[in-house]
Amino acid sequence: MYDKILLPTDGSINARRAGKHALWIADESNAEIVVLNVIDVNYLQPSYLPSFNKNLDNCLIDEGKKALQEFKTDLEESQCQGLCKNIKFTNMIKEGKPHLMILKTIDEENIDLVIMGASGIHGVDRFILGKVTERVLRETKTPILVVR
Protein backbone atom coordinates (compact mmCIF):
# COMPACT_ATOMS: atom_id res chain seq x y z
CA MET A 1 0.00 0.00 0.00
CA TYR A 2 2.82 2.43 0.86
CA ASP A 3 6.19 2.66 -0.85
CA LYS A 4 7.83 5.48 1.11
CA ILE A 5 7.12 6.65 4.64
CA LEU A 6 8.51 9.92 5.99
CA LEU A 7 9.38 9.93 9.68
CA PRO A 8 10.40 13.41 10.86
CA THR A 9 12.26 13.08 14.16
CA ASP A 10 13.67 15.48 16.72
CA GLY A 11 14.48 12.90 19.36
CA SER A 12 11.29 13.57 21.32
CA ILE A 13 9.25 10.82 22.96
CA ASN A 14 6.41 11.38 20.48
CA ALA A 15 8.83 11.03 17.55
CA ARG A 16 10.03 7.72 19.03
CA ARG A 17 6.45 6.53 19.37
CA ALA A 18 5.84 7.54 15.74
CA GLY A 19 8.91 5.50 14.79
CA LYS A 20 7.36 2.34 16.24
CA HIS A 21 4.27 2.85 14.10
CA ALA A 22 6.44 3.54 11.04
CA LEU A 23 8.25 0.23 11.56
CA TRP A 24 5.04 -1.73 11.79
CA ILE A 25 3.47 -0.10 8.72
CA ALA A 26 6.70 -0.37 6.70
CA ASP A 27 7.00 -4.05 7.57
CA GLU A 28 3.39 -4.71 6.54
CA SER A 29 3.68 -2.82 3.25
CA ASN A 30 7.37 -3.38 2.37
CA ALA A 31 7.91 0.37 2.42
CA GLU A 32 11.10 2.38 2.79
CA ILE A 33 11.36 4.72 5.79
CA VAL A 34 12.93 8.13 5.24
CA VAL A 35 14.03 9.42 8.65
CA LEU A 36 14.35 13.20 8.59
CA ASN A 37 15.84 15.59 11.12
CA VAL A 38 15.52 19.30 10.39
CA ILE A 39 17.92 21.79 11.92
CA ASP A 40 15.64 24.69 12.77
CA VAL A 41 17.26 27.84 11.40
CA ASN A 42 14.88 29.91 13.53
CA TYR A 43 17.22 29.25 16.44
CA LEU A 44 20.19 30.72 14.62
CA GLN A 45 20.38 34.32 15.76
CA PRO A 46 22.42 36.89 13.83
CA SER A 47 25.68 37.55 15.57
CA TYR A 48 28.70 39.73 15.02
CA LEU A 49 30.82 36.80 16.15
CA PRO A 50 31.14 34.41 13.19
CA SER A 51 32.78 31.80 15.40
CA PHE A 52 29.69 31.80 17.66
CA ASN A 53 27.39 31.15 14.67
CA LYS A 54 29.70 28.39 13.42
CA ASN A 55 29.77 26.73 16.86
CA LEU A 56 25.98 26.96 17.18
CA ASP A 57 25.52 25.54 13.69
CA ASN A 58 27.86 22.64 14.50
CA CYS A 59 26.02 22.01 17.78
CA LEU A 60 22.66 21.83 15.98
CA ILE A 61 24.08 19.47 13.36
CA ASP A 62 25.45 17.27 16.15
CA GLU A 63 22.03 17.27 17.82
CA GLY A 64 20.43 16.23 14.52
CA LYS A 65 22.89 13.37 14.10
CA LYS A 66 22.26 12.37 17.71
CA ALA A 67 18.48 12.27 17.13
CA LEU A 68 18.98 10.02 14.09
CA GLN A 69 21.38 7.76 15.98
CA GLU A 70 18.97 7.50 18.93
CA PHE A 71 16.24 6.48 16.51
CA LYS A 72 18.48 3.80 15.06
CA THR A 73 19.56 2.51 18.45
CA ASP A 74 16.13 2.68 20.07
CA LEU A 75 14.10 1.19 17.25
CA GLU A 76 16.31 -0.75 14.87
CA GLU A 77 18.46 -2.47 17.46
CA SER A 78 16.35 -2.81 20.59
CA GLN A 79 12.66 -2.69 19.68
CA CYS A 80 12.34 -3.92 16.11
CA GLN A 81 11.52 -7.44 17.24
CA GLY A 82 12.36 -8.76 13.80
CA LEU A 83 10.57 -6.06 11.84
CA CYS A 84 13.63 -4.17 10.58
CA LYS A 85 15.43 -6.77 8.53
CA ASN A 86 13.49 -6.09 5.32
CA ILE A 87 13.00 -2.36 5.78
CA LYS A 88 15.22 0.08 3.93
CA PHE A 89 16.12 3.21 5.91
CA THR A 90 17.32 6.51 4.49
CA ASN A 91 18.54 9.13 6.98
CA MET A 92 18.49 12.84 6.13
CA ILE A 93 19.52 16.00 7.92
CA LYS A 94 18.31 19.26 6.40
CA GLU A 95 18.50 22.90 7.49
CA GLY A 96 15.51 25.21 7.36
CA LYS A 97 12.14 25.81 8.88
CA PRO A 98 10.96 22.36 9.96
CA HIS A 99 7.49 22.40 8.44
CA LEU A 100 8.78 23.73 5.11
CA MET A 101 11.57 21.16 4.93
CA ILE A 102 9.12 18.35 5.77
CA LEU A 103 6.78 19.54 3.01
CA LYS A 104 9.68 19.84 0.57
CA THR A 105 10.88 16.32 1.43
CA ILE A 106 7.37 14.95 0.90
CA ASP A 107 7.45 16.27 -2.66
CA GLU A 108 11.10 15.50 -3.46
CA GLU A 109 10.99 11.93 -2.15
CA ASN A 110 7.48 11.06 -3.42
CA ILE A 111 6.32 10.21 0.09
CA ASP A 112 3.11 8.16 0.41
CA LEU A 113 2.63 8.53 4.17
CA VAL A 114 3.99 10.80 6.89
CA ILE A 115 4.15 9.50 10.43
CA MET A 116 5.02 12.11 13.02
CA GLY A 117 4.64 12.94 16.67
CA ALA A 118 1.81 15.14 17.88
CA SER A 119 4.32 17.55 19.37
CA GLY A 120 8.07 17.72 19.39
CA ILE A 121 10.88 18.11 21.82
CA HIS A 122 9.89 21.69 22.64
CA GLY A 123 6.49 20.70 24.00
CA VAL A 124 2.97 21.49 22.97
CA ASP A 125 2.78 24.84 21.25
CA ARG A 126 -0.92 24.74 20.59
CA PHE A 127 -3.17 22.97 23.08
CA ILE A 128 -2.96 19.52 21.45
CA LEU A 129 -0.78 19.57 18.33
CA GLY A 130 2.68 21.04 18.00
CA LYS A 131 3.13 23.94 15.62
CA VAL A 132 5.17 21.95 13.08
CA THR A 133 2.71 19.04 13.00
CA GLU A 134 -0.23 21.39 12.63
CA ARG A 135 1.37 23.26 9.72
CA VAL A 136 2.27 20.06 7.87
CA LEU A 137 -1.29 18.77 8.36
CA ARG A 138 -2.74 21.96 6.91
CA GLU A 139 -0.42 22.23 3.93
CA THR A 140 -0.12 18.72 2.45
CA LYS A 141 -2.51 16.35 0.76
CA THR A 142 -0.31 13.38 1.69
CA PRO A 143 -1.85 11.14 4.39
CA ILE A 144 -0.42 11.80 7.85
CA LEU A 145 -0.54 9.59 10.92
CA VAL A 146 -0.08 11.73 14.04
CA VAL A 147 1.14 9.77 17.05
CA ARG A 148 0.79 10.88 20.63
First to last CA, the chain: 23
pLDDT for 66 equals 80
115: Cα separation from own chain's centroid? 8
> φ and ψ at 104, to 5 degrees?
-65, -40
Question: What is the spatial distance between Cα 100 and Cα 27, in angstroms, rounded to a whole number?
Answer: 28
Q: Tens digit of pLDDT for each residue in 105-128?
A: 999 999 999 999 987 655 444 444
Please enumerate in sequence order all residues whose Cβ is within 8 A of that of 87, keeping only pairs 6 or more positions apart, or say none: 23, 26, 27, 31, 32, 33
Q: Tens digit of pLDDT for each residue in 12-28?
A: 888 888 988 998 899 89
pLDDT for 39 equals 85
Question: What is the spatial distance between Cα 132 and Cα 123, in angstroms, rounded to a whole number?
Answer: 11
Question: What is the spatial distance between Cα 72 and Cα 102, in angstroms, rounded to a whole number?
Answer: 20
pLDDT for 125 equals 42
Between the alpha carbon of residue 13 and those of residues 7, 34, 52, 101, 122, the distances in Å are 13, 18, 30, 21, 11
pLDDT for 44 equals 54
CB-CB contact of 48 with 18 (8 Å): no
Low-confidence residues in the chain, pLDDT < 70:
41-54, 56-57, 74-83, 120-129
- Fold assignment, 4-147: Rossmann fold (3.40.50)
Per domain, the residue ranges of the chain are 4-147
Please tell me whether residue 92 adopts helix, strand or coil conformation: strand
